[in-house]
Structure 1
Amino acid sequence: MNNKNTIPALLLLSSLGMGFLGGVLGVLLSKSTLAIQAKDGILEDLSIPLQIQEEENATISSVTKAMPSVVSIVVSKDRALLYRGAGMEDLFFGFPFGSSPYRGGNPIVPENVANNEDTAGESIREQVGGGTGFIISADGMILTNKHVVSLEAAEYTVVTQDGKEYPATVLGKDPFNDFAIVKITAPESLPVLELGDSDQIRIGQTAIAIGYSLGQFKDTVTKGIVSAINRRVVAGDGLGASEVIEEAIQTDAAINPGNSGGPLLDIAGRVIGINTAVSQSGQLIGFAIPINSAKAVIDNVKKFGRLVRPFLGVRYILIDESIAEERKLSRDHGALIARSERKNDPTILPGSPAEKAGLAEGDIILEVDGTEVDQKNSLPELISRKLPGDTVSLKVLREEKEITKPVVLEEFVAKL
């Protein structure tokens, strides 16, 4: 090849490249302030940098608005109980602070503890876990995950955004969902986080997570989108305990250990979900419980001062197309009252509202107060919106005939 011919060609390409680059930069710079006229005579706004700036400002605004209402929850436990009496089943979310006395499932007991060298009568507490919550009432009620405050014989301390610490009391833990409400007493009114409407969220919209990441990094903010909705997720702790999350919101906003119980926000800074679980086998696959699922819990704790839950008293299978085909059912939605895999578990709980109303194994509950039972509106979700003492009307399919059953809901009393 003739080098003399090559050099001018390269220079020409470089010149064309620089000219093209200059033109692109000129257009991009002009987009922030100008609009161009389309062929059909309609002005088309091409100010992409301005749109990006507006989105960034909206994100900053929503985080600034929400941050004062987000709190860290620190879990502490007596050292003697921790090393001598605590089994691994107590350590739901492990030791995110890098100070775990467990390695490979076996306790590593400090020498002074093993030799009873602690000061007589002195209670030494160690920080063993952490999570996040957010303020839902000006007098100090805080919503978090149940698994954040489920460690036996533990003490809970809430740290507000301004660094103040308050002892926390657990008002109630939801028996059906991963919710809990704790209470602190502060000398002043506390900032309340606005709740959104999770029924209105759409796939692709902005999602912002705030939390106490890894139990070390307070007020960590991550941003992504709503990746999917109405997921049914079984979230386990690796120690045998698990929670079923109905209608979970999937997001790619990073949710790390310690973020549990923190808010998932929309672009306006309103809570659309409660950050709860993360996939250990994938990247940026996190799950949040829709905030609408918690609203009945919040309302009845505000009303009664404790967590009050209604229950129906049936075991069921939520029907979809595959279940309908497998069991040769005539309907592809509803809740089929059916026996669980454990043969000793009753299908209808004795003395329950369901038994009193005459529900039977094999019945399909099609509707609750006119709302169809399906993947979007599961039976527990519809019942959870009610209060003990409420009468609900159930449309039931029995032997291919539709009947209506009025049922008076009762309060669920958890066994301690």
Structure 2
Amino acid sequence: MEHLTKSQLILLVLLVSFVTSMVTGIMTVALLSEGAGENPIQTIQRVIEKSANSPPAADSPAVSDQDNNIVRIVENVSPAVVSIVAAKDVSVIENYYLTPFGDILADYGIQRRQVGAGSGFFVSGDGMIVTNKHVVQDQSASYTIILKSGKNVGAKVLALDPIKDIAVLKVEDLPAGGYPFIHLGDSSGLKVGQTVIAIGNALGEFQNTVSVGVISGLSRTITASGGFSGPEVLAQAIQTDAAINPGNSGGPLLDLSGRAIGINSAVAQGAENIGFAMPIDSVKKAIEDVKSFGKIRYPYLGVRYVIINPAVKESRKLPVDYGALVTASEGELAVLSNSPAKKAGIQQGDIILEFSGKKIDQNNALADLIADKKIGDKVSLKILREGKEISLEATLEEMP
């Protein structure tokens, strides 16, 4: 390199640069030729796949078939759901005075005031409405029905169920064509987990409030407070997590066919999403009784009793841990005079083990078994008396 002339050195540098440019150009063409048939197509495919799998736009949310069905049911039945308002005359202070001695004197007057509100629903086109007994139990109050349209109509209480939280009313104004009504379903085949819809006058203020949930339990026995006559035991209740609020009482609990399978009745205080409804099969009986007899009738046996469980067995030294022990408090009759039980030969101290072939226990109370029968039915009774089992037969009569 030291012996090269200046001209030779310049020629060498130019030659090296030329060779380098040629090699770079050949490699670039080869790479482009190799990838030209694949990469653009793959890119297009990726774009297409991404577009096809992209989520729907925010302005067009997906709606499930079940959602559409619930919306349809609510639209169909809402006109048949009503608010029930109770009003009565109450004493109010109209004027008051302060005497020179510091005493307060008042003038009292009478004003018509709203004292309660609940829900109900039409069960026939002729204006018959069912609701909870505790909604319309105040006999000194008058009751007004508020339709979905906002129109107010008067209503008369036809009957109050003597055992269950059910009442039947009828509106006084019947329009041409009658009222829209809700068909009654079947509560005997309900399943835990099935979807239900509750509609009612939530908090006595928000008319036709809708909530959706599932059946959480069946055949619950609860003690409900807040009624006009105090706490009441509700048996065979449907438990649901559909929101049931004060004011919802008396509204329908619907299945996904749009039929009423219960009447919303109570909510567990201090807990969330625990509500209860009376099964609709009890309502069917009440409606038929009112149509046929003008009142709700029940059969009765005529005994006072205590349901036996392991604790009762232990405390009373009984031979069995199930059944109904015929007994009463001091001054009361365990077997009522002239009752079906008296006529059948039941005695104080007997243990009724079975009623019409069904074992009696905490989950199968004697009162519920009797209520499922009709007046005039003959029932078999398995009795444990002084260590021996005997069989008796009774004919149920109307509860006095």
Q: TM-score range by the shorter chain?
A: 0.7 to 0.9
Query: Counterpart of 1:157?
Result: 144
Secondary structure of the residue that 2:188 maps to in structure 1?
A: helix
Residue 82 (structure 2) pairs with residue 55 (structure 1): no
Query: Counterpart of 2:75?
Result: 64
Paired residue for 2:277, among 288, 300, 303? 288
Q: Is the 1:171–1:307 contact (alpha carbons within 8 Å) kept by the matching residues of 2?
A: no
Q: 1:381 to 1:209 in 2, by over 3 A?
A: same
After TM superposition, list the pairs within 5 Å mapping 1:248-327 onto structure 2: 248-320=237-309, 323=312
Question: 1:264-301 CA distances to partner (integer Å, 9 max, x unpaired)?
Answer: 11222222221111111111211112222333222211
Measure how far apart 1:219 and its partner are.
Answer: 0.6
In structure 2, the gaps of 5 or more residues are: 1-45, 97-104
Q: 1:380 to 1:140 in 2, by over 3 A?
A: farther
Q: Is the 1:141–1:181 contact (alpha carbons within 8 Å) kept by the matching residues of 2?
A: yes
Question: 1:307-361 CA distances to partner (integer Å, 9 max, x unpaired)?
Answer: 2222222222334566556656555544332335xx3333222332222222123
Question: 1:358-396 CA distances to partner (integer Å, 9 max, x unpaired)?
Answer: 212333334333344445543222222333333333333
Measure how far apart 1:239 and its partner are.
Answer: 8.1
Distance 1:195 1:328 in 2: 47
Q: Is the 2:88–2:140 contact (alpha carbons within 8 Å) kept by the matching residues of 1?
A: yes
Q: Which moved more, 1:67-76 or 1:179-188?
A: 179-188
Q: 1:25 to 1:125 in 2, by over 3 A?
A: farther
In structure 1, the gaps of 5 or more residues are: 1-18, 30-48, 84-107, 119-123
Distance 2:158 2:142 in 1: 14
Q: Which amino acid aligns with 2:128?
A: M
Q: 1:308 to 1:239 in 2, by over 3 A?
A: closer
Query: Counterpart of 2:53?
Result: 26
User: May I ask how many residue pairs the two structures share in their alignment?
Assistant: 339
Residue 390 (structure 2) pairs with residue 403 (structure 1): yes
Measure how far apart 1:24 and its partner are.
Answer: 12
After TM superposition, list the pairs within 5 Å mapping 1:214-233 onto structure 2: 214-233=203-222
Distance 2:326 2:52 in 1: 65
Scaled by the length of structure 2, the TM-score of the pair is 0.75
Secondary structure of the residue that 2:349 maps to in structure 1?
A: coil
Q: Is the 2:302–2:340 contact (alpha carbons within 8 Å) kept by the matching residues of 1?
A: yes
Question: 1:80-103 CA distances to partner (integer Å, 9 max, x unpaired)?
Answer: xx23xxxxxxxxxxxxxxxxxxxx
Runs of 4+ in 1 over 6 A off after TM superposition: 22-25
Alpha-carbon RMSD across the aligned residues, in angstroms, is 3.1
Q: 1:344 to 1:287 in 2, by over 3 A?
A: farther
Q: Is the 1:308–1:387 contact (alpha carbons within 8 Å) kept by the matching residues of 2?
A: no
Measure how far apart 1:156 and its partner are.
Answer: 0.7
Measure how far apart 1:246 and its partner are.
Answer: 0.8
Secondary structure of the residue that 1:200 maps to in structure 2?
A: coil
Query: Counterpart of 1:199?
Result: 188
Scaled by the length of structure 1, the TM-score of the pair is 0.72
Q: Which amino acid aligns with 1:76?
A: A
Q: Is the 2:94–2:109 contact (alpha carbons within 8 Å) kept by the matching residues of 1?
A: no
Q: Is the 1:333–1:374 contact (alpha carbons within 8 Å) kept by the matching residues of 2?
A: yes
Q: 1:401 to 1:56 in 2, by over 3 A?
A: farther
Question: 1:4-50 CA distances to partner (integer Å, 9 max, x unpaired)?
Answer: xxxxxxxxxxxxxxx9xx98992877xxxxxxxxxxxxxxxxxxx98
Distance 1:137 1:403 in 2: 47
Query: Counterpart of 1:140?
Result: 127
Question: 1:109-167 CA distances to partner (integer Å, 9 max, x unpaired)?
Answer: 4538951466xxxxx42111111112222222211111111123100112223333222
Q: Which moved more, 1:327-336 or 1:144-153?
A: 327-336
Q: 1:401 to 1:117 in 2, by over 3 A?
A: closer
Distance 2:391 2:126 in 1: 43
Larger radius of gyration: 2
Secondary structure of the residue that 1:282 maps to in structure 2?
A: coil
What is the percentage of aligned positions where both structures have the same residue? 47
Q: Which moved more, 1:255-264 or 1:192-201?
A: 192-201
Distance 1:167 1:135 in 2: 14
